[in-house]
Amino acid sequence: MPYKRNVYERAIYKEPAPIRDHENPFESMVKRFDIAAQILELDPGFYSYLVKPTRIHITAIPVVMDNGYIQMFDGYRVIHNEVLGPSKGGIRFAPDVTIEEVSALAAWMTWKCAIVGVPFGGAKGAIACNPREMSEGELERMTRRYTANLLDVFGPDKDIPAPDMNTNAQIMAWILDTYNMHVRANTNAVVTGKPIMLGGSHGRVEATGRGVMIVTKAAMRELNIDIEGSTVAVQGFGNVGSIAAKLLSEQGCTVVAVSDISGGYYNENGLDIEAMIAYCKDGNGTLEGYSNAQIISNSELLALEVDVLVPAAKEDQITERNAHEIKARIICEGANGPTSPAADKILSDNGVLVIPDILANAGGVTVSYFEWVQDRQGFFWTEARVNKRLDRMMSGAFDAVYKAAQNYQVTPRIGAYVLAIRKVADALKMRGIYG
Ligand code: GLU
C-alpha cells in the first residue's frame, strides 16, 4: 500500500491538503466573514482574533485492530473561539477529513451558537477513518483513545463534544465513560447527544431536522408560500435529512425527492417518508433497492422544480457549476457548508432565498445546550418542553437574521454572519485582552 502522508506531515512538506472540490471550506468561511467584517467596520485586531481558531489539536491515535495489527489514525479537535462560553461542537468520522474542513466547521459552530443565543463558543473534532470498514470494537477503542489523548481539552466547562457525521449516541457514551474513568467523576455534561439513560435529552436526535422544519416554515411565511401542497426535495437521508423530510411532510409539504449515497428517489405525488425511514433501518442503513420511486441522479435532484430544496448531505454541493440550475425558491441548508461563495452570488441574483447553515442547522446545538442545562440541574424536561423551547429559539433567530438581511440589504447568510460576529466581538470587547 503506498504510504500516505498525514496532515501534520503535509504541513511540514508544504503540500496542499486535498480539497474535495475547488473550494477550501475554511476559505469559504473567511470569504463570508470578510463581507460581514466590512459591513461592521470591524477593528483589524478584532478581525484577526475572531477569524482564526484559538487552538488546533492534532493527535495520533493508535488502535489495535481486530487482526492484531496496530493502525494509526489522525485525530483533530479545533477550538475556534471561547469568548461566549465553553466551546461546543460535534466530532465526525470521515476518511477524507482535512484540518481546513474541521477549522471551518469549528468557526461555523461559533457563529451558530451566537445566532441562536446559546452561551457557547465553537469547536469541532474529527478522526480520519472509514467507520463503515471498522468493527464496533475497533470504533470503541479508537473513540476511547481519542478521548484519552484529548482529556485536558474536554470538560463540561471547557469543551463539549457532540455527534456529527458518522458519530452517534453510542460514540458519545464511550467518550463520557472514558472521560469519567480518567477524572474519577460522573459528569454527564461533558458530552451531549448521548443516550437518554445516561443523561441525554429528549428531542436531541430529531433536533437538527426539527430546526430545519421550523425555519423552512418561517421562510415560506415570508414568501407567502402555502405549506399545504408545497413541494420539497431533500439531499441526504441521514439524521438531518430524514427527520427534516418526515417533519416537513407532517406539516403538509409534499416531499417529492430524497437521496442518499445509493442515489436519488423521486415521486411527483410525494414519497412515503415514514416507509423510507423504516426501509433504511431494516436494511443496511441506505435506501439501496427502494422500489416505490423513480431513480434520479444527485444533480437531477438539486435541479428539481420544487418550492424548497434541503441540502442535508455534506459540504460543497451547490457551486458555481450547478447553482444556475437550481429552481427551488428556498434553500434550507441542513448540512454545514453545502453552498460555495460563488454559488451564493448566483442564487441571490436568481432570487433564491437561502437559509444559511449557521441558522438552518442550529437546532442540534440548541438542544445540546438544553441537554447540558438539564445535566447540570439534574432535572430533565419532557420532549414537549424541549420542542417548544427549540421552536421559540429557532423562530427568534430566523426573525433576527431575516431582519438583519433586510436592514443591511444583504443575503440572509451575510445577515447571519453580521449578527454573529457583532455579538462575539461585543463580548470580546467586554472581556478585554488579557496580558
Ligand atoms: N454536530 C452538530 C452541528 O454541526 C451539533 C453540535 C453540538 O450539538 O454541539 O451543529
Same domain, 168 and 142: yes
Up-side HSE of residue 424: CA atoms within 13 Å toward CB? 35
Query: Does ligand 1 have an atom closer than 6 angstroms to the CB of 364?
Result: yes
At 2 the pLDDT is 40
At 22 the pLDDT is 58
Contacts of 347 (CB under 8 A, 6+ apart): 318, 323, 326, 331, 339, 354
- CATH at residue 250: 3.40.50.720
CB burial string 375-401: b at 16+ within 10 A, e below: beeeebbeeeebbebbbebbeebbebb
Query: Does ligand 1 have an atom closer than 6 angstroms to the CB of 192?
Result: yes
Q: Which of 129, 155, 190 finishes a domain?
A: 190
Query: Does ligand 1 have an atom closer than 6 angstroms to the CB of 336?
Result: yes
State yes or no: pLDDT of 21 exceeds 70. no
Q: Where are the alpha helices (DSSP H) in 20-98?
A: 25-40, 44-51
Contact 217, 227 (CB under 8 A): yes
409 Rama sector, left if φ>0, alpha if ψ -120 to 50, beta otherwise: left
User: Which of the following is catalytic: 14, 31, 88, 124?
Assistant: 124
pLDDT above 90 as % of the chain: 92
What letter does residue 371 receive in the DSSP assignment?
H
> pLDDT grade, residue 17 (50/70/90)?
very low
Query: Does ligand 1 have an atom closer than 6 angstroms to the CB of 161?
Result: no
Same domain, 184 and 253: no
> pLDDT grade, residue 18 (50/70/90)?
very low
Q: Is residue 377 part of a domain?
A: no
At 13 the pLDDT is 36
141 CA distance to ligand 1 middle (Å): 23
Which of 129, 88, 93, 130 shows the shortest CA–CA distance to 106?
88
Q: Is residue 418 part of a domain?
A: no
Which ligand 1 atom sits nearest the alpha carbon of residue 192? 8
| CB-CB neighbours of 370 under 10 Å | 24
Contact 319, 344 (CB under 8 A): no
Q: Is residue 237 part of a domain?
A: yes
Q: Is residue 220 part of a domain?
A: yes
198, three cell numbers: 445516561
81 CA distance to ligand 1 middle (Å): 15
- Distance of alpha carbon 175 from its chain centroid, rounded? 19
Report the mean per-residue pLDDT for the chain: 94
At 10 the pLDDT is 41
Each residue of 87-144: pLDDT tens digit?
999 999 999 999 999 999 999 999 999 999 999 999 999 999 999 999 999 999 999 9
Q: Which of 261, 283, 313 finishes a domain?
A: 313
At 23 the pLDDT is 65
| CB-CB neighbours of 153 under 10 Å | 18
Q: Which of 276, 297, 313 finishes a domain?
A: 313
Q: How far is CA 198 from CA 79, 139, 146, 182, 201, in A?
A: 26, 20, 20, 17, 9
| CB-CB neighbours of 75 under 10 Å | 23
Angle at 110 between CA 198 and CA 401, to 5 degrees: 110
State yes or no: pLDDT of 11 exceeds 50. no
19 CA distance to ligand 1 middle (Å): 23
Q: Is residue 255 part of a domain?
A: yes
Q: Is residue 90 part of a domain?
A: yes
Query: Does ligand 1 have an atom closer than 6 angstroms to the CB of 107?
Result: no
Q: What is the mean pLDDT of residues 349-372?
A: 98
Same domain, 174 and 220: no
| CB-CB neighbours of 256 under 10 Å | 22
Each residue of 44-57: pLDDT tens digit?
999 999 999 999 99
> pLDDT grade, residue 8 (50/70/90)?
very low
Q: Is residue 403 part of a domain?
A: no
Which of 18, 11, 94, 23 shows the shortest CA–CA distance to 56?
11
- Return the axis-axis angle of helices 99-116 and 363-377, rounded to nearest 10°: 70
CB burial string 306-322: b at 16+ within 10 A, e below: bbbbbbbbbbbbbbeee
Ligand 1 pocket: which of 368, 372, 386 to mutate (most atoms within 8 A of CB): 368
Same domain, 105 and 221: no
Q: What is the mean pLDDT of residues 153-173?
A: 97
59 CA distance to ligand 1 middle (Å): 21
At 19 the pLDDT is 35
Each residue of 274-321: pLDDT tens digit?
999 999 988 778 999 999 999 999 999 999 999 999 999 988 999 999
Helix, strand, or coil (residue 429): helix
Same domain, 250 and 183: no
Which ligand 1 atom sits nearest the alpha carbon of residue 112? 10
Query: Does ligand 1 have an atom closer than 6 angstroms to the CB of 361?
Result: yes
Same domain, 146 and 243: no
Query: Does ligand 1 have an atom closer than 6 angstroms to the CB of 239?
Result: no
Same domain, 168 and 229: no
| CB-CB neighbours of 250 under 10 Å | 11
Each residue of 53-81: pLDDT tens digit?
999 999 999 999 999 999 999 999 999 99
* Number of domains present in the structure of the chain: 2
Query: Does ligand 1 have an atom closer than 6 angstroms to the CB of 315?
Result: no
365 CA distance to ligand 1 middle (Å): 5
138 CA distance to ligand 1 middle (Å): 24
Clarify whether 124 is annotated catalytic.
yes
Contact 175, 195 (CB under 8 A): no
Contacts of 411 (CB under 8 A, 6+ apart): 344, 348, 354, 356, 405
Same domain, 215 and 307: yes
The answer, as to whether pTM is greater than 0.85, is: yes
Same domain, 219 and 299: yes
What letter does residue 133 receive in the DSSP assignment?
G
Same domain, 186 and 213: no
Ligand 1 pocket: which of 82, 109, 124 to mutate (most atoms within 8 A of CB): 109
Which ligand 1 atom sits nearest the alpha carbon of residue 89? 9
Hey, whose CA ends up nearest to atom 9 of ligand 1? 89
Which ligand 1 atom sits nearest the alpha carbon of residue 161? 9
Q: How far apart are CA 96 and CA 315, in angstroms?
A: 12
At 174 the pLDDT is 98
- CATH at residue 108: 3.40.50.10860
Residue numbers of the domain that contains 113: 54-190
At 188 the pLDDT is 98
Query: Does ligand 1 have an atom closer than 6 angstroms to the CB of 88?
Result: yes
State yes or no: pLDDT of 258 exceeds 80. yes
Each residue of 177-228: pLDDT tens digit?
999 999 999 999 999 999 999 999 999 999 999 999 999 999 999 999 999 9
